[in-house]
A and B are shown apart, each in its own frame.
Chain A
Amino acid sequence: EAGVAQSPRYKIIEKRQSVAFWCNPISGHATLYWYQQILGQGPKLLIQFQNNGVVDDSQLPKDRFSAERLKGVDSTLKIQPAKLEDSAVYLCASSLTGFSTDTQYFGPGTRLTVL
């Protein structure tokens, strides 16, 4: 079974530039999550999709971050414009149903550096 795929693996940009990350979840998984992990901290949920609908985006900075899940499969997370404090690893995860006790499977992450 193929795992969660993410690209790019690394990205370096200057502040005020835009950047986009892509995630391909495990086939058949209804739920997709985007997390932000700042160095030295645990992952923080940014947004959770159930199929192509948003379940939770309470911690997504909507003035600069946006996310979409096309046709309930792949997802893109965009930052526009980027700030220095956005430097972090962005993790994508998927689960079969999104219900309690469901295992979340994580991708390798995209490391973003904002200069």
Chain B
Amino acid sequence: AQSVAQPEDQVNVAEGNPLTVKCTYSVSGNPYLFWYVQYPNRGLQFLLKYITGDNLVKGSYGFEAEFNKSQTSFHLKKPSALVSDSALYFCAAHGGNNRLAFGKGNQVVVIP
């Protein structure tokens, strides 16, 4: 069965510091990987995805993620966090003839 793990409940980072949100996955076949962001009382918004090609994927709002096949990871990164990046971040994975599987989400708090 597909699964996505986001090991930390909350990530705290000072404004201007690098931000990393961790994600590992378990899927059958080639993985298709996504990051979504959720602001309070809103639905999930697409940030970026990995389908094939370059392992470093760039997305919206200055975010990027690195696909690491050997470690089955797809960590989300941003070089310099903003207070407005405070939100809930979901990693999702797709493999084989299945649907998206989501992690439990990580709350990111950027401290001014």
Report whether chain A binds chain B: no
Tell me the A residues contacting B by CB distance below 8 Å: none
Tell me the B residues contacting A by CB distance below 8 Å: none
